[in-house]
Amino acid sequence: MNLHLVDIVIIVAYLASTVLIGYWVSHRASRDMQAYFLGGNKMPWYVLGVSNASGMFDISGSMLLVYWMFVYGIKSVWIPWLWPTFNQVFLMVYLSAWLRRSNVMTGAEWIKTRFGAGRGAQLSHLIVVIYAFVSIVGFFSYGFKGIGKFAATFLPWHLSPNMYALILISITAIYVIKGGMFSVVITEVVQFCILSIASFSVGIIAMAKVSPALLHKVVPAGWDNVFFGWHLNLDWSALIPAASAKIAQDGYGLFGFFIMMLFFKGVLISAAGPAPNYDMQRILSSKTPREASMMSAWVNVVLTFPRYFLIIGLTILAAAFYSDFIRGMGTNMDFELVLPYALARFVPAGLLGFLIAGLLAAFMSNFAATVNAAPPYFVNDIYKRFINPDAPPKTYVRLSYLASFAVVVIGVLIGWNVTSVNSVVLWIVSGLWGGYTASNVLKWYWWRFNGYGYFWGMVAGIGSSLVLPGVIANNGLAQGFLARHPINSDVSIVFPLVLVLSLIGCFAGTLLTRPEDDSVLKDFYRRVRPWGFWGPILKKVQAEDPAFQRNRDFARDMFNIAVGIVWQVSLVALPLYFVIQEYGRAAAVLAVILITSAILKFTWYDHLAEREERQAETPAPEPQPASASV
């Protein structure tokens, strides 16, 4: 398409100002590794929350959400449980505090807190570094493909999607590699403000142009209902046959079964804690465990409203005025392109440039956060631990520049060959996270689980996540089963198989080797104070300190998680019903938000300070400084 000159000026000005701001604050990151990777643990929780939300407001995910919203309607609020989105509820209720108490820099460094420094811990440390690299490159590829598709639709120069992605990644890398965490957070806050203004504007435009009566004419019955039965029951055949074909291809027809599987998978993944990416980095960057919990709660609020104003606004504009074009494309329709097509058609000049700048900001935020999360695993967990533990701080920072650059190069090489945003997402959330889940659930809640169990569980999980999707795709028996049963193989087959194989590795590695030393387990238990199967360690700690009390928050935490999931889904549904002007349903959803917020105030928020005071009353060994060698 041909952008108006004013749009091009806005986009270029935004890109230039972002680089300048990021580079301007970069001097604060160059003192040492803690400043570079964690911002010196000095940034307020609400700033980190906005930064985290900005990183999650990525353009590839937004393209997917518009596609899901278009095809599946308001019921699509459940599909992001693929990630799962409610992992932020688990984090806010208890896991962010547990993780922050460890006082480390990376997920790999956390291994020493849990498993000590023996051979099993060393192997676990190595496998976490490998997993972090694989997952970060996976997310990088996902973002690479999305920004290329988006930019090729809008920007006026006739370049390939991959070339556009390469250019935008290069611009972002300038300030990310130089500035570290400070540059990332400051620029993400600026980017989030731009994106929020643009997103609310799109929602308002959609409300002005698309009446409820018009919307009902162009979508199937039930499209505007958040609730669902066993079957999806959305019949697009008379409106857009390609949408019906897409539902069959996705394997979401048995929607009730699909959501049950997502919930089962999501609870396990959420209970495992955050993967070693930018989300974990924000938690470790917070000032205190209490602020880490509040940051995770804040992400739910600040991310939801602007993002879903944009998603629903673009969706109903496309459904109302773009359906004829989509029908004309037939089975060749790429629903991931609904977002850029809707923008091109319905957003006026000036605002379009502002919105494109905002969506570029979303990509740059996600990319910046992903790249900044990678170097600690190479610098802190490999170079500093095994090669040069006494190097000057400047040496570690310079090596961080090199590690960031290497991640960018590898991510570009892989992303160049990816064909679909959705395909990368399904592999990450079903295969790769399936391999992560078993080991990282057991590490929190079972005292007997040791470093060898963690290592072999991760090896089995990562290996099967890389192999199983290809085996299933090329197996005639499996394909015949999937042809007869309209289910999503990634969620319903790949994830359970990866999980089972990973559990076998966990239990075999643990039960065939010795438990970790009592000193390591007691130190971890005193410092983090998890609930779960820690009875033998509790007795040993109480033998040394009779005043020590076990964590009695399990029942309250589970209640808060249930309430929090309802609260989070309602936060998503509110802007959707508001923009499609279903004000009665919007009022009902708002009532649910107010009730659940009041409950969480008394059962969660009021207990944050009390929980940390209780923790402080029990002396524990001095925690290791975040920048120290492991």
Strand partners, 457: none
| pLDDT tier at 17, thresholds 50, 70, 90 | confident
Computed on alpha carbons and rounded to an integer, the radius of gyration of the chain in Å comes to 24
Question: How confident is the model over 553-611, as pLDDT tens digits?
Answer: 999 999 999 999 999 999 999 999 999 999 999 999 999 999 999 999 999 999 997 77
How much is the pLDDT for 309? Answer: 93
Give the residue, 112 or 628, on which the prediction is more confident: 112
Q: Residue 234 contacts by C-beta under 8 Å, 6 or more apart in sequence?
A: 71, 72, 73, 75, 220, 222, 223, 247
Residue 584: predicted pLDDT: 95
pLDDT of residue 424: 56
Higher pLDDT, 104 or 27: 104
More confident residue, 6 or 428: 6
Contact between 138 and 428 under an 8 Å Cβ cutoff? The reply is yes
The whole-number pLDDT of residue 73 equals 94
Place of tokens 């509790």: 538
Distance CA 249, CA 487 (A): 9
- Cα–Cα distances in Å, from 527 out to 615, 616, 620? 8, 9, 6
Element (H, E) at 608: helix 606-616
Which of 394, 9, 23, 289 minimizes the C-alpha distance to 180?
23
| Distance from C-alpha of 357 to C-alpha of 10, rounded to nearest angstrom | 7
Q: What's residue 623's pLDDT?
A: 41
26 pLDDT more than 70: no
Domain ranges of the chain: 5-36+44-419+551-616
CA–CA dist 552, 560 (Å, integer) = 14
Range 443-451 average pLDDT: 96
Give the integer Cα–Cα distance in Å for 404 and 410.
Answer: 10
> What local confidence, expressed as pLDDT, does residue 630 receive?
28
What pLDDT was estimated at residue 224?
A: 93
pLDDT at 615 over 70: no
Tokens 């209490």 locate to 290
Highest mean pLDDT among 129-138, 244-253, 310-319, 383-392: 310-319
- pLDDT score for 425: 57
Cα–Cα distances (Å) from 533 to 50, 96, 525, 550, 551, in that order, read 35, 20, 11, 11, 11
What is Dmax (Cα atoms) for the chain?
A: 75
State how far the Cα of 206 lies from the Cα of 145, in Å rounded to an integer.
Answer: 27
CA atoms of 240 and 458, how far apart (whole Å): 44
Peptide bond into 276 cis (omega under 30): no
Question: pTM for the complete prediction?
Answer: 0.83
Tell me phi and psi for residue 484, to 5 degrees: -85, -20
Q: To 5 degrees, how large is the angle CA 494–CA 497–CA 502?
A: 120
72 within 8 A of 80, measured Cβ to Cβ: no
Q: 625 pLDDT exceeds 50?
A: no
Tokens read off for 88? 């932020």
CATH architecture of 5-36+44-419+551-616: Up-down Bundle (1.20)
CA dist 490 → 7, 156, 504 (Å): 40, 37, 20
| Residue range 76-90, pLDDT digits in tens | 999 999 888 899 999
Q: 292 is written with which tokens?
A: 């880490």
| Residue 589 pLDDT | 97
pLDDT band at 67 (very low <50, low <70, confident <90, very high): confident
Q: Which residue has the higher pLDDT, 320 or 130?
A: 320
Predicted confidence (pLDDT) at residue 2 exceeds the cutoff of 60:
yes
Beta pairing partners, 446: 533
51-61 pLDDT, tens per residue?
A: 888 777 777 67
Round to whole Å and give the CA distance between 140 and 149: 15
- The pair of structure tokens assigned to 27 is 């001097």
H or E element, residue 463: helix 451-473
In this structure, what token pair is assigned to residue 310?
Answer: 């944009």
- What's the pLDDT score for residue 627? 35
Q: Answer yes or no: is pLDDT of 10 > 80.
A: yes
* 15, 170 contact by CB (below 8 A): no
When mean pLDDT is compared across 36-40, 169-173, 344-348, 561-565, the lowest value belongs to: 36-40
pLDDT of 622 above 60:
no
Token pair of 322 as six digits: 């773009």
Q: How confident is the model at residue 12 (pLDDT cuts 50, 70, 90)?
A: confident
Lowest mean pLDDT, pick from 114-123, 232-241, 273-282 = 273-282
Q: What percent of the chain has pLDDT over 90?
A: 32
Torsion of CA 120, 121, 122, 126, to 10 degrees: 100
What are the distances in angstroms from CA 552 to CA 57, 94, 533? 36, 12, 12
Give the pLDDT confidence score for residue 252 in this predicted structure: 78
* Mean pLDDT (the chain, rounded): 80
CA distances from 61 to 55, 459, 493 (A): 11, 28, 23
